[in-house]
Structure 1
């Protein structure tokens, strides 16, 4: 789990888009835009604001927050997309909260942040900000979580609702074989293929978030409630982070399920670290990350740190490595994002050809899955995670998508099993949230 949690509200500005067209909201007023690259629109919006950061607060104090779906590859690399729109959601939504609640889980402290626009009567703006802070403190200071609202992380009920897939086992196995043929022909070293699981159910998306948080606490927990759908996630993996000129990418590749006992867990760790296929795949993705970071980093500044370590989560364990670099003076957070998006761990290597194969071998567009969730702040910093272990909740359906990296010696049965292992926690969270809803 991360040290801080952020709750954003007072949202009057935003940007949502699809198919080269978008809507920008300014203080409730809407304007339509067309673009070749959505990041240029976002960059223009952020460039008009500079914020005086408070060194006593965590690194995010305001900016654009939301998601950029995997299908944004069409803008950055000209990759074609499958004809089927999949879930038909916006390709991206970024929101600008005027007010923040910041929870410091280490110090057990709650901080309120209110943004003041200093382009008019500064004294009036300052007084309004102070008044609003007092209102927030007064309103929320008495809020406590009652015992009946607590969540038991050990309770994992079975999912009784029927689940469907956007492709069956035979279809995915055939796609895996086609990917292997492309690998044999030397087109790619790896390609990540996925499938989406849909559960018909009615639940409160925030219950789903709380269930996921209890079952699978992760470095990146997020909950976005939009008008027609919600995005809920517990991602273990940084896509790319830029903080004070330091670029970080953390490839996660190589997976085993958790053991039932400590002895089984250690045995599975040793098995994973001895698996040449998993190690080769991981090293390849580390090299890809080094190349991505190298596109925007100063010469000689790219380094690999803490390689091939094991990180454990509720249902799986992974191999992880850190890749660092120092940002060039002529590059920005948006250049960093373009260079590193999408992550090689959800696309493959080389990335462009792998993405072309994904467009041909997957039945529909991915939507938020395998894209980015995070923020671009007002002072040029950025932190994004990969949208994995991520659920999309609609009024009567919840979707979760998971993938597996296909390489030369992949076995379809094992890759299908990996997709299933990566979906377990999401399905458990759905079941848990359904159990909550059914209580009298």
Structure 2
């Protein structure tokens, strides 16, 4: 049975797995295609996947100006310099705030927010301007349709939103979209080259450079500048072929609850994130910061030992609690007084590469704020900066060689009614000009050991770097 309101129509569709495989291949080659996937049947946050492309409008930044590109009238408008205010204004102008709580996305915003977007909202004393890839701090699409996949029931749905500027009947819009998708399925696929690395991964840190940077952070901690700093290193390689194939390989290996594939005009984003940043449903807010990591072992007994070590590690619990307190403060800026709580502390969540220590922070969003305000209050996530946040970000800017780009930023969707879900973009890669970039890092505190922190970076990407090195490259197997 269809599920509908005056301006939102959601109907089940009977596309086969082969149909969807073909359709996703076609959509993945289109600029502004956005796939948000739950790749695990077992993870508590794996519920839905979302597939869309061809937005009705976009929001980007060029030379410190926020630009609204309205494709329906082929018009570009300067929206000032505040991306989240512009996003909120446009979202509410285009989309109806009708409730559809059963389904995750019913038309609205899907966006990639780079870590550096946080510098727009926070005043940092920066000692240098780190080299970047020239990609801009955010990329926001406004989508009036999506295919939704229920991971548990294995059922597909097509959602069509009739925007405030659209005059056609809702049923006509839905049927037209369905016919277009069917035509894509029946269309002959263009041949694409197989993805493979043409140059091996290289880190921007030698081990000795990492040790030196680690020591600098320790000095900052001992002098009272901060309690924790998240230090990341960047890996890069050259590649050839189709980035979507790389994404599919990582999806299979990592089983991430917050996986994403995003093709933009100047970059491709591939994410295998395990971490929820901010969820807001009917103004109920949840964040699930990760802080604490142990590698998985193929030996079941050793794996259980590692899990128990992490569960009872005072050091990891201390790190986790620092970030929980930071998130409580950030969320509390826009939630009702007294509503912020920590219902779960120090849970273990296990993934193919690592075990993680995860806590849950909740609150009730105050009526004068919306999801964009919540993002502004919390961005970037405290689990990937350190504490206190501003000073940690300044130290990160001083010590890391390159901008983080989408790494440690967020990928989010926001409905017309303001409901939102988002990830912290760890285990996330960027492809540009036949170069692929991947980052890994960890939180450094006073009693951290440099050898352990250095190794933790490689543990976190143990299901990423080797997988892509071997993909379609028999010499590396």
Alpha-carbon distance change, 160 to 142 in structure 1, aligned in 2, over 3 angstroms: closer
1:153 alignment counterpart: none
Is the CA contact 2:201–2:465 (under 8 Å) kept in the aligned structure 1? no
SS at match of 2:55: strand
What is the aligned partner in structure 1 of residue 132 from structure 2? 86
Rate the CA distance shift 1:84–1:34 in 2: closer, same or farther, 3 A. farther
2:111 aligned partner: 66
Unmatched runs of 5 consecutive residues or more in structure 2: 1-39, 41-45, 188-195
Deviates more, 1:318-327 or 1:291-300: 291-300
Are 1:76 and 2:91 matched, yes or no? no
Q: Which residue of 2 aligns with 1:316?
A: 354
- 1:149 maps to none
Greater displacement, 181-190 / 370-379: 370-379
Q: Residues 15-30 of structure 1 correspond to what in structure 2 (within 5 A)?
A: 15-27=59-71, 29-30=74-75
Residue of structure 1 equivalent to 2:334: 296
Q: CA, structure 1 residues 79+19, in 2 after alignment: closer, same or farther (shift >3 Å)?
A: farther
Alpha-carbon displacement from aligned partner over 1:303-328 (angstroms, at most 9, x marks no partner): 11121111100110011111110111
* Alignment deviations for residues 261-311 of structure 1 (CA, whole Å, 9 cap, x no partner): 221111001211232211111111111111112111112211111211111
Q: Distance in 2 between matches of 1:417 and 1:178?
A: 18
1:404 and 2:442 are equivalent in the alignment: yes
Whether the 8 Å CA contact 1:62–1:97 is kept in 2: the answer is: yes
The answer to whether the 8 Å contact 1:88/1:367 transfers is no
Offset, 1:106: 1.7
Query: What whole-Å deviation, never above 9, does each CA across 1:344-378 have from its counterpart, x for those lacking one?
Result: 11100010111111111111211111011111221
Using the TM superposition, give the Cα deviation of residue 100 of structure 1 relative to its aligned residue in structure 2, in angstroms: 1.0
Corresponding residue of 1:51: 96
Please tell me whether the aligned partners of residues 203 and 433 of structure 1 are also in contact (alpha carbons under 8 angstroms): no
The CA deviation at 1:90 is 1.8
Greater alpha carbon shift after TM alignment, 43-52 vs 328-337? 43-52
The 1:18–1:173 alpha-carbon spacing in structure 2 relative to 1, beyond 3 Å, is farther
Quick one: structure 1 residues 368 and 22, their matched pair in 2 at CA, closer, same or farther if it must change by over 3 Å?
same
Residue 187 (1) aligns with residue 187 (2): no
Whole-angstrom distance in 2 between the partners of 1:47 and 1:236: 30
Stretches of structure 1 lacking an aligned partner (at least 5 in a row): 144-157
User: Could you tell me the TM-score, scaled by structure 2's length?
Assistant: 0.83
Higher mean Cα deviation, 76-85 or 195-204? 76-85
> Is 1:5 matched up with 2:49?
yes
* 2:125 paired with 1:102: no
RMSD: 2.5
TM value normalised by structure 1? 0.90
1:187-336 correspondence to structure 2 within 5 Å: 187-336=225-374
1:425 aligns with 2:463: yes
- CA shift for structure 1 position 141: 7.7
The equivalent residue for 2:418 is 380
Query: Moved runs in structure 1, 4+ residues, more than 6 A?
Result: 140-143
What is the alpha-carbon distance in structure 2 between the residues aligned to residue 127 and residue 3 of structure 1?
27
**How far apart, CA to CA, are the structure 2 residues paired with 1:120 and 1:46?**
14
Distance apart, 1:170 and its partner CA? 2.3
Structure 2 CA distance for aligned equivalents of residues 229 and 119 of structure 1: 30
